[in-house]
Amino acid sequence: MAKQTPKKVVDTKLNVLLQQKQAFQNTIDNLELEIARLQEQHEQDKKNRNVASEIESSYKKNRMSHLLSLNKKYSELKRTIKITKNSTLESKLSNLRTMVSKKKGKLLVIDKEITNRQVELKKQMDLAKPKKQIALTNNKQTTSLTKKNNIKEAPSNPKFSPQYTQSVNVGKVIFDAEWDNVSFGDGFIHIKHNGRLYRKDLIQSKKYLNEIKHFYKFHNVPKLRVILYGSIVKAIENQEVLFYHIDFLTIAASNFGIILIKPFRLQDWKKYTKQFYKTNLSFVFHSYTLKRLCEYCDPNLPIIPVGEVVINSNGSKTIHNSFLFPIKAKTGHSIVWESIEESKASYVFSVTAFTDKEVQTLFDYIAGDTPQKRMTLINSKMLQNRLKMKCRILHTEFSAWDIGIRILCK
């Protein structure tokens, strides 16, 4: 006689609660996406208005207002600017946030009801176990001891509905986020995972970083290790990787006219010492020359990351990682400009001291929009003198390169 498969017990009350939870969660997700969309629209509209206003002011200053309509960029901005009052938009956002808050409150109540029901079902299972054990003892005395020893073990096929089994697994989730699935907002980031967006508040984040991100290849950069609890981003394990790239992309943003480049201050970079890189950002220095420069540099001064904008012959732009390494000598310091591109030579500059003023000129040149920076520097004696360039050391033979760098330390 064929063995019958035990029929699964479906708990109707639990199923209803789980369906309600999913419906509320879907509504919350949609509302949060709409809030993000409105905020993004508002910020872009604000940016467009500012640019249009600057163009208007420029034309008025030069008494050319009558030619304003011929400016293609201005005309395009005028077409894209949304005619929306700030008060109306703020009212919409306020209403949406209130709705989200209420839905989340209801979701907490449903979660509690689900937990209570799960506890109740577990009690029912525990009560059912001894009865089954007695029946087995009466029918098969020879096997009763074995069954008794296993009475406390969880059944291999618990008689729960699939929905109940799934809900037990809901909790802590850890996953690796691709950088393509990370987007920046003002004061927060969004991380996409399994088709859903998860928000993490982060005061350092700025929306304009999205405009820079696609110019940059995250070469050899670890994925973000994200810890979720339910729908909440509890933590990012390797958060220093994220903070570093926010700082790095912020520098690059100045090259695209998105923000004004701020005066260089060593104070803003003081944590980026070689020990900090070794502890938190070891992936950055992947080549032989980068690792050696990290060893030779002054341990008390920061290694400055600089987003070098490379302008190709067709005018397209990409961003390369490069660094300024402070090398201490008996008198003053040398600064070595090193790229992550191993084919590029090391460029050495002399400074009397590693100060804001000394670094600023070099920083501005590397972070500027000069095409073919290295070739321009090689061919211009005047530029070399202005930047205090000492020499360049090729990467053709690493033992010779190493000797050239160690001479700087003497």
| The pLDDT of residue 256 | 63
Mean pLDDT, 10 residues at a time, over the chain (410 residues)? 47 79 77 75 76 81 75 74 63 80 80 81 73 49 47 40 38 89 92 92 88 79 90 90 88 65 74 91 90 92 86 76 89 89 91 84 81 89 92 90 87
pLDDT in the model for residue 157: 40
Is 221 exposed, middle or buried (CB count within 10 Å of its CB: 0-12, 13-18, 19+)? middle
Given a contact cutoff of 8 angstroms between Cβ atoms, the answer to whether 185 and 43 are in contact is no
> 192 is written with which tokens?
């996409």
Phi-psi region of 321 (alpha: psi -120 to 50; beta: other; left: phi over 0): beta
Q: How far apart are CA 315 and CA 66, in angstroms?
A: 32
Longest dimension (CA), the chain: 107
User: What is the tally of helices (H) and strands (E) in the chain?
Assistant: 13, 11
- The pLDDT, as a whole number, for residue 387 is 92
In one-letter notation, the amino acid at residue 268 is D
Determine the pLDDT at residue 258.
63
Q: What is the pTM of this model?
A: 0.56
Three-state secondary-structure class, residue 307: strand
CA 365 to chain centre: 27
| Mode of pairing for the β-strands spanning 232-236 and 182-185 | unpaired
Given 3-state DSSP classes, what are the helix, strand and coil percentages for the chain, each rounded to the nearest 5?
55, 20, 30
Structure-token pair, residue 90: 């703020």
The whole-number pLDDT of residue 261 equals 55
Q: Write the CB contacts of 353 (distance below 8 Å, at least 6 apart in sequence).
A: 332, 333
Q: Quick check: 334 and 408 in contact, CB under 8 A?
A: yes
Radius of gyration for the alpha carbons in the chain, expressed in angstroms and rounded: 31
Q: How far apart are CA 363 and CA 296, in angstroms?
A: 21
Sign of the alpha-carbon dihedral angle for 30, 176, 308, 278: positive
Q: Which pLDDT belongs to residue 385?
A: 92
111 three-state secondary structure: helix
Look at residue 364 and give its three-state secondary structure: helix
Smallest CA-to-CA distance from 163 within 112, 231, 107, 114 is with 114
